[in-house]
Amino acid sequence: MKKTFLISLVYLIANVNFAQVDNSENNAKNFRFGLKGNLSIDWLRPENKKKFVSNGSGLGYGWGAQLEYRLNKTASVVTGVGIQTAIGKLGFFEASSKDSVFYLLNKDEEFQEFNTENLLDSTNTSFWLKDRKYKINYITIPIALKMKTKEIGYFTYYGTFGLNLGIKTKAIVEDNVEIANASTTNNDLDLNSGASFARTGIIIGFGAEYSIAGSTALFFDLTYNYFFSNALNGDDKYLGVKDYTVENGFKEVNQKAIPGSVALTVGILF
């Protein structure tokens, strides 16, 4: 009887130990929280290249919080919230049509519509726009699937794919312009009404986590953001080209420029 009991006890302990070993790969936290920051190379890709062209890329930046929910040993859903500043540049003078694009500013450097009253107002100033640098701030909410490898040394490698939603909070521009045959620069002009309210796109990326202790890890990744939506409002009532067939002699400029970026992100997960 004692022998049977001892054999049963040894068998039970062995099973428990093996179960603990087998489950050791699956004892990570289901929820992980982290902080991150990024630098990005941003650009704007115009559709109507007769009116304006891409004028190079800009260096953007952002920061935020990240939340991961673990689905199984290799897959997690990643979301969070962040603040992102995107930079884009467009050239108006270099476009093939050579249309001269103008805008009006009042004495407080606020954009004015092209109507008879504003055109006749002597306190307003007309500028010939050569090129423009956009600085647009967004609140970002990504939703992505993260697929990880097993830990190799202290590193775990992963790929991500998902959606990125951005809600505009502020937009300012820096313009190279000409007035009275002299070139100058207009800085920090408020263009909230000239930028779209939101942008949506796809996230594709890869990266790695470096384990520090327990579930705490440093991570870094490189992501490509392909956006679908127009970064600018279609018909900008504050930009005009000369057209004497319409009232007031100016026609609104139709704008469509699709943003894109590549971002390097560094952060920590707990």
Q: What is the band of 96 on the pLDDT scale with cuts at 50, 70, 90?
A: low
**Residue 188 clears pLDDT 80, i.e. is over it:** yes
Q: How far is 88 from 174, CA to CA, in rounded Å? A: 11
Closest C-alpha among 228, 225, 258 to residue 38:
225
**Residue 9 clears pLDDT 60, i.e. is over it:** no
DSSP one-letter string for the chain:
-HHHHHHHHHHHHHHHHHHHHHHGGG-S-SEEEEEEEEEEEEEEEES-TTT-EEEEEEEEEEEEEEEEEE-SSSEEEEEEEEEEEEEEEEESTTSTT-PPEEEEE-TTS-EE--SHHHHH-TT-EEEEEEEEEEEEEEEEEEEEEEEE---BTTEEEEEEEEEEEEEEEEEEEEEEEEETTEEEEEEEEE-GGGB-SEEEEEEEEEEEEEEEETTEEEEEEEEEEEE-S-SB-SEEEEEEEE-TTSGGGEEEEE--EEEEEEEEEEEEE-
**Residue 7 clears pLDDT 60, i.e. is over it:** no
- Give pLDDT, residue 252: 86
**Residue 179 clears pLDDT 50, i.e. is over it:** yes
- Give pLDDT, residue 106: 96
- Give pLDDT, residue 97: 60
Q: What is the band of 47 on the pLDDT scale with cuts at 50, 70, 90?
A: confident
- Give pLDDT, residue 202: 97
- Give pLDDT, residue 8: 47
Q: How far is 213 from 215, CA to CA, in rounded Å? A: 6
Q: Report the pLDDT averaged over residues 192-209.
A: 95
Question: pLDDT tens across 19-45, in order?
Answer: 333 344 444 679 999 999 999 999 999
- Residue 265's alpha-carbon distances to 35, 52, 207, in angstroms, are 10, 31, 9
pTM for this model (two decimals) = 0.85
- Give pLDDT, residue 28: 63
- CATH no. of 30-269: 2.40.160.20
Closest C-alpha among 147, 150, 143, 157 to residue 70:
147
Q: What is the band of 243 on the pLDDT scale with cuts at 50, 70, 90?
A: confident
Each domain of the chain, given as residue ranges in start order, spans 30-269
97 or 14: which leads in pLDDT: 97
**Residue 160 clears pLDDT 60, i.e. is over it:** yes
Sequence-separated (6 or more) residues with CB below 8 Å from residue 139: 81, 82, 83, 84, 166, 167, 169
Average pLDDT, whole number, for the chain?
88
- Give pLDDT, residue 10: 38
Q: What is the band of 235 on the pLDDT scale with cuts at 50, 70, 90?
A: confident
Residue 265: how many CB atoms within 10 A of its CB?
21
Share of the chain above pLDDT 70, in %: 88
